[in-house]
């Protein structure tokens, strides 16, 4: 696996791929089986695969959340080597944001609700860095998990609106055996807390109405940001012992 840390170095490499299809998985590191499932699919569908790891400061609306985000680069690198990834792209914030974040990409309707309402500025930071990465990598396909469903919709909308020639591939949410959606934030939960957190998926996947579902989450000790039905999905964001969890299921 080739590790690339400079933007100009990547741009030179990218010129060599004119006859090869390229798959791309953007990540913030702390990789788990969910990320690796995206890698596996990208390898099946492309000649070359590149994974980026960049903890994007502009999409954190709380500085402490950014500062406490786990750094597991050595472990992540080994996992990607074992998956035979071709390139690991490790851009520096000073290069990605040489404009000091003075130029931003924002969306005004879809991003104003749910996650956007509870995390001001989050989606502007996310869309801005994803646009930069898509422009740099110039992949034929980019892979995003459905756990962050609103994010997926926004990325698709941006790609269509700005005529970006990369296909956005939606991938099923990977779950632990107990149903808990895999997430880097799960590392902040003890094994007992992870078992308790699995109640979120169980209730979302039930046939309970929204009001009953919310009441049961509260009884179980969750703090609720939202539980709503949109886009043929039932979506939720909750807190458990100071850790924020999001999930969604298809409406049956």
Phi/psi zone of residue 142: left (φ > 0), alpha (ψ -120 to 50 degrees), beta? beta
Closest CA to 236 of 200, 191, 194: 200
Q: Is-catalytic flag, 199?
A: no
Dihedral sign for Cα 49, 54, 60, 65, please: positive
Give the dihedral of Cα atoms 27, 29, 34, 40; nearest 10 deg. 70
Residues paired with residue 145 on neighbouring β-strands, in sequence order: 171
Q: Which of 20, 32, 35, 199 is catalytic?
A: 35
Active-site positions read 35
């Amino acid at each position: 696996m080739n590790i690339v840390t400079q933007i100009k170095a990547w741009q030179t490499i990218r010129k060599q791929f004119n006859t090869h299809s390229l798959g791309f998985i953007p990540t913030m590191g702390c990789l788990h089986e969910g990320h690796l499932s995206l890698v596996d699919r990208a390898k099946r569908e492309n000649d070359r695969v590149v994974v980026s790891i960049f903890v994007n400061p502009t999409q954190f609306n709380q500085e402490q959340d950014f500062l406490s985000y786990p750094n597991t680069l050595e472990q992540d690198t080994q996992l990607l080597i074992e998956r035979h990834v071709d390139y690991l792209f490790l851009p520096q914030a000073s290069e990605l944001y040489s404009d000091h974040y003075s130029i931003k990409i924002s969306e005004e309707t879809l991003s104003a609700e749910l996650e956007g309402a509870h995390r001001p500025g989050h989606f502007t930071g996310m869309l801005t860095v994803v646009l930069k990465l898509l422009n740099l990598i110039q992949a034929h396909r980019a892979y995003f998990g459905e756990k962050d469903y609103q994010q997926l919709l926004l990325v698709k909308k941006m790609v269509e609106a700005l005529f970006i020639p990369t296909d956005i591939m939606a991938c099923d949410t990977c779950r632990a055996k107990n149903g808990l959606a895999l997430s880097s934030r799960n590392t902040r939960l003890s094994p007992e807390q992870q078992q308790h957190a699995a109640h979120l998926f169980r209730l979302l996947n039930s046939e309970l109405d929204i009001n009953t579902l919310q009441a049961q989450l509260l009884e179980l000790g969750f703090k609720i940001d939202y539980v709503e039905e949109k886009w043929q999905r039932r979506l939720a964001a909750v807190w458990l012992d100071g850790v924020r969890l999001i999930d969604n299921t298809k409406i049956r």
